[in-house]
């Protein structure tokens, strides 16, 4: 139920005036529900804008709103608020209907909009590291959420498979006369070679020239280079697949549409941009100068699409990709889950594609960047020796830590259960700790906090869920045969209003691509429920209260389960 938007719309209708622009109506939840469940907060602003006295305006709103079914009581509150109490019968009715629905669903729009979500998208010359966690799991949660609210979601793993990293590896192996050994190299060996090649590339002009040569060869389908290139990618993809499976990521092979996918489009786009006089050739390089973006020297920003005799660069690939997504895939919206350092890159790509008419204003493009994971000392999260932490190692560690935690609580648990449970708990913990932070800011990664039963953690939510399951089990009889909910105290009403807000939160989170809003919500729901559980009798209460409280508990369990599911976190029925 989008309760606040219902209240807003109603009020909007009441105050509507011809020739006056609509004003945003602010409805907030009251902290203390004794003063009303919701509050109209900007009465003063409305009266000013519509030129009606406060008194007249509030009288009008109160009079018209009090006839609505949804409202029990509505009153003015000093200095200039209106407090709204929801109707108990209406609320009960809503809960009873929700209870009967098998699945938690959203009302879907008739015409499905297409959203492309570009996430994870790792570079194929090295294994995934902790820096890939955020894009992978926030992107995946958003994909689940968008699908849930009715979008046609196209997940895309735009892997980095067409840049000069492959030219570097080949050039380095050729230089060391080790190219024949390529198939014997492990991922970590390859990565070491890539690092060494990168250092050489920075200081050795001749080597740089070779790198360009091999990268261009790959891009032009040269047979022997292509084979090596394919092999490196296969090796990395295999490892990444393992990681996705462990992390419960919905990306499949068919979602891999990497840079190289656009290769046939690139020469034509280059030509077209030159013909349209958007790109120019300067010293052999093909460049677009953008008037509205300045570089550090204050001159028009130059975006290089291709260097003289060099391979196609990252920028032109993304321009082609944008065109493809708009013209062929017919996307209404594209969301990029890519780290904040690429903000300018996306801005440039967007401007060029727009200039060239590859896209129009109809498409919405959003770069959902995110902050970094930091250590307790506020520095980037790295190993003791200062190396980047591999994502696979982080996952393994989380599983091990969860194992130790479980064994502390339950020494007799059988091995099979222990293995299953430690995966759910360990992986759930790292995912939740990341998803529960606002993606825009950096956050400190702290194992103790992540695997704690207290605070906004996955363990706390899971624990509440299990508590509800065992309560319902204890009841022994079928709760679906019970009579309907009838609310009798303020705590029950408070919980009911929280239940009511679920869909509103989902919509809000989908709009901003911020799953942490769902985390905050299910955490609040869990803690309000826990207080309720400790304060009130449930199974030992009188019959009417027992029914209501059991059913409310059931509904909360249903929401917690759905919430975790939308975040891509597996749930456990025991601990
Ligand atoms: N491969 C890039 C990287 O590792 C991210 C790609 C993001 N997506 C895109 N369409 N550029 O930084």
**How many angstroms does the Cα of residue 457 sit away from the middle of ligand 1?**
30
pLDDT at 297 > cutoff 80: yes
Compute the distance between CA of residue 135 and CA of residue 139 in angstroms, rounded to an integer.
6
User: Cα(413)–Cα(405) distance, rounded to whole angstroms?
Assistant: 12
Q: How do the domains of the chain map onto residue ranges?
A: 3-86, 111-370
Candidates 217, 265, 258, 212; CA nearest to 234 is 258
Distance 559 CA to ligand 1 centre (A): 34
pLDDT of 253: 97
Q: Residue range 8-34: average pLDDT?
A: 87
Mean pLDDT of 438-446: 95
Measured CA to CA, the distance from residue 433 to residue 453 in angstroms comes to 12
Pocket test for ligand 1, best of 116, 119, 121, 388 (most atoms within 8 A of CB): 121
Name the strand (E) or helix (H) holding 91.
Answer: helix 88-100
Q: Ligand 1 within 6 A of 259 CB?
A: no
* Confidence class for position 34, pLDDT limits 50, 70, 90: confident
- Give the list of residues 6+ apart from residue 293 with CB closer than 8 angstroms, or none: 300, 301, 344, 347, 348, 351
The radius of gyration of the chain from alpha carbons, rounded to an integer in Å, stands at 28
Query: Looking at residues 47-67, what average pLDDT do you find?
Result: 92
Q: Specify the pLDDT at position 575.
A: 83
Q: Where are the alpha helices (DSSP H) in 410-501?
A: 415-435, 447-450, 458-475, 490-500
Q: What does the pLDDT look like over 332-391, one tens digit per residue? A: 999 999 999 999 999 999 999 999 999 999 999 999 999 999 999 899 898 888 889 999
Task: Report CA(117)–ligand 1 centroid distance (Å).
Answer: 12
Res 313: pLDDT: 96
Residue nearest to atom 1 of ligand 1 (CA): 160
List phi, psi (to 5°) of 28.
Answer: -120, 155
Q: How far is CA 512 from CA 6, 337, 508, in A?
A: 21, 12, 7
121 CB near ligand 1 (under 6 Å): yes
Can you say how many angstroms the Cα of residue 507 is from the centroid of all Cα atoms in its chain? 13
Distances (CA, A) of 568 to 108, 139, 232, 402: 21, 10, 29, 18
Concatenate the DSSP letters of all residues of 327-387 into one string: IIS--SEEEE---GGGHHHHHHHHHHHHHTTSS-TTSEEEE-----EE-TTSSB-B-TTSP
Given ligand 1 and candidates 316, 326, 338, which is best to mutate, with the most ligand atoms within 8 Å of its CB?
Answer: 338
Instruction: Please spell the DSSP secondary structure of 525-554, one letter per residue.
Output: HHHHHHHHHHHS-STTS-HHHHHHHHHHHH
Report the pLDDT value the prediction gives residue 374, as an integer from 0 to 100.
Answer: 94
How confident is the model at residue 507, as a pLDDT?
Answer: 94
How far, in Å, CA of 317 to CA of 244, rounded?
Answer: 25
Query: Ligand 1: distance of its center to the CA of 368 in Å?
Result: 12
- The model's pTM: 0.94
- Answer whether 160 contacts ligand 1 (Cβ < 6 A): yes
How far apart, in whole angstroms, are the C-alpha atoms of residue 394 and residue 130?
7
Classify residue 101 by burial, with Cβ atoms within 10 Å: 0-12, 13-18, 19+.
exposed
Question: pLDDT of 474-487, one tens digit each?
Answer: 999 999 888 899 99
Beta strand residue intervals within 121-255, DSSP E = 152-156
Pocket test for ligand 1, best of 158, 315, 367, 388 (most atoms within 8 A of CB): 158
Q: Is 140 in the pocket of ligand 1 (CB under 6 A)?
A: no
Q: Write down the pLDDT at residue 32.
A: 84
Ligand 1 touching residue 158 (CB < 6 A): yes
Contact 505, 515 (CB under 8 A): no
CA distance 386 to 549: 53
Mean pLDDT score, 111-120: 96
pLDDT score, position 452 = 95
CA pair distance 418, 404, nearest whole angstrom: 10
pLDDT score of 110 more than 90: no
- Name the strands in the sheet holding 81-86, side by side, starting at the edge strand that comes first in the sequence: 27-29, 38-40, 81-86, 71-77
Q: Whose CA is nearest to atom 8 of ligand 1?
A: 158
Q: What is the mean pLDDT of the chain?
A: 94
The CATH number that domain 3-86 falls under is: 3.30.1360.70
118 CB under 6 A from ligand 1? Answer: yes
CA 326 to chain centre: 22
Tell me the per-residue pLDDT of 152-205, one tens digit each, with 9 for 90 and over. 999 999 999 999 999 999 999 999 999 999 989 898 899 999 999 999 999 999
Are 133 and 430 in contact by the 8 Å Cβ rule? The answer is yes
- Note whether 225 and 217 are within 8 A (CB): yes
Question: 111-370 sits in which CATH class?
Answer: alpha beta
Q: Is 338 in the pocket of ligand 1 (CB under 6 A)?
A: yes
User: From CA 46, how far away is CA 259, in angstroms rounded?
Assistant: 51
């Amino acid at each position: 139920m989008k309760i606040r938007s219902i209240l807003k719309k109603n009020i909007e209708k009441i105050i509507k005036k011809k020739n006056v622009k609509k004003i945003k109506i602010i409805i907030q939840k009251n902290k203390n529900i004794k003063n009303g469940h919701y509050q109209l907060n900007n009465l003063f602003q409305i009266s000013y804008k519509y030129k009606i006295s406060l008194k007249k305006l509030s009288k009008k709103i109160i009079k018209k709103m009090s006839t609505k079914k949804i409202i029990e009581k509505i009153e003015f509150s000093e200095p200039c608020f209106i407090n709204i109490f929801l109707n108990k019968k209406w609320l009960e009715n809503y809960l009873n209907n929700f209870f009967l629905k098998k699945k938690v669903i959203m009302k879907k729009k008739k015409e499905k909009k297409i959203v492309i979500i570009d996430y994870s998208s790792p570079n194929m010359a090295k294994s995934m590291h902790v820096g890939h966690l955020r894009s992978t799991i926030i992107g995946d949660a958003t994909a689940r959420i968008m699908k849930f609210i009715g979008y046609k979601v196209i997940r895309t793993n735009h892997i980095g498979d067409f840049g000069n990293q492959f030219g570097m590896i080949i050039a380095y192996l050729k230089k060391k006369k080790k190219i024949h050994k390529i198939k014997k190299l492990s991922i970590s060996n390859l990565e070491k070679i890539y690092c060494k090649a990168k250092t050489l590339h920075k200081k050795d002009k001749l080597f740089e020239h070779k790198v360009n040569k091999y990268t261009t060869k790959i891009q032009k389908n040269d047979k022997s280079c292509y084979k090596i290139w394919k092999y490196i990618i296969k090796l990395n993809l295999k490892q990444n697949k393992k990681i996705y499976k462990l992390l419960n990521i919905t990306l499949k092979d068919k979602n891999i549409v990497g840079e190289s996918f656009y290769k046939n489009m690139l020469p034509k786009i280059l030509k077209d941009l030159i013909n349209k006089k958007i790109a120019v050739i300067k010293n052999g390089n093909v460049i677009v100068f953008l008037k509205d973006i300045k570089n550090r020297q204050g001159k028009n920003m130059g975006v290089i699409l291709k260097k003289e005799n060099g391979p196609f660069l990252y920028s032109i690939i993304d321009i082609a990709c944008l065109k493809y997504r708009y013209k062929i895939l017919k996307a209404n919206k594209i969301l990029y889950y890519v780290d904040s350092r690429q903000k300018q890159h996306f801005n440039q790509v967007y401007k060029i594609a727009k200039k060239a008419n590859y896209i129009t204003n109809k498409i919405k493009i959003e770069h959902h960047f995110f902050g970094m994971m930091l250590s307790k000392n506020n520095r980037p999260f790295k190993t003791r020796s200062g190396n980047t932490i591999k994502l696979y190692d982080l996952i393994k560690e989380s599983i091990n830590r969860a194992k130790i935690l479980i064994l502390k609580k339950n020494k007799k648990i059988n091995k099979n259960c222990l293995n299953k449970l430690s995966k759910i708990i360990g992986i759930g913990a790292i995912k939740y700790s990341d998803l529960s932070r606002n993606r825009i800011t950096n956050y400190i990664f702290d194992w103790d906090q992540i695997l704690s039963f207290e605070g906004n953690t996955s363990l706390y939510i899971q624990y509440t869920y299990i508590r509800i399951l065992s309560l319902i089990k204890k009841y022994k009889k079928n709760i679906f045969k019970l009579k309907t909910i009838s609310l009798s105290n303020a705590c029950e009403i408070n919980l009911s209003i929280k239940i009511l807000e679920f869909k509103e939160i989902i919509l809000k989170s989908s709009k901003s691509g911020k799953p942490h809003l769902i985390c905050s919500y299910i955490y609040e729901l869990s803690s309000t429920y826990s207080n309720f559980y400790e304060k009130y009798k449930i199974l030992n209460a009188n019959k009417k209260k027992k029914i209501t409280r059991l059913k409310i508990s059931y509904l909360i369990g249903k929401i917690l389960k759905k919430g975790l599911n939308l975040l891509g976190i597996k749930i456990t029925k025991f601990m």
